[in-house]
Copies of this chain bind each other. A is one copy, B any other.
């Protein structure tokens, strides 16, 4: 017994055209490619390096800021911050005006790790971009930023 065979009419639409699917696969393929390119030198998860990157690139901020900028859930960020604190890549500073907040600051070691990863990332991104024209790259990134709904 077989399932009904695929029809070629309009009732189907190709999975390879479905944006959420394409985005997930492309994200998975490129991320794991990048991860192996630096051989997970620092033993960080992707969420941890996302936090590290935000602090390194955009300066000290609170967990809440990172959630908003990276569109990442607060529990994920909370755990990443704990992990980075344990490896001494960042310190917390309670805001004395409003003690619900804590400003997150990279330590010198954290900053060094960020710089190293930053180099790898730039290199990796350049290699990815090389397969497209300048116009394609511009359009691709613009569409992605819009889909990601980044601030």
Name A residues whose Cβ lies closer than 8 Å to a Cβ of B: 1-6, 11-31, 33-34, 46, 50, 53-60, 70-71, 90-91, 105-108, 110-111, 115, 118, 121-122, 124-125, 128-129, 131-132, 135-136, 139-150
Contact = CB atoms under 8 A, between A and B. Distances in A.
A121 B21 CA distance: 10
Judged by DSSP, the binding face of A is helix
Contacts of A22: 141, 144-145, 148
Q: Kindly list the 4 A-B residue pairs having the minimum CB-CB distance in the complex, ordered from nearest.
A: A23-B27, A3-B106, A25-B148, A26-B148
A13 B118 contact: yes
A147 B19 CA distance: 13
Contacts of A21: 50, 53
A127 to B, nearest CB: 10
A126 to B, nearest CB: 9
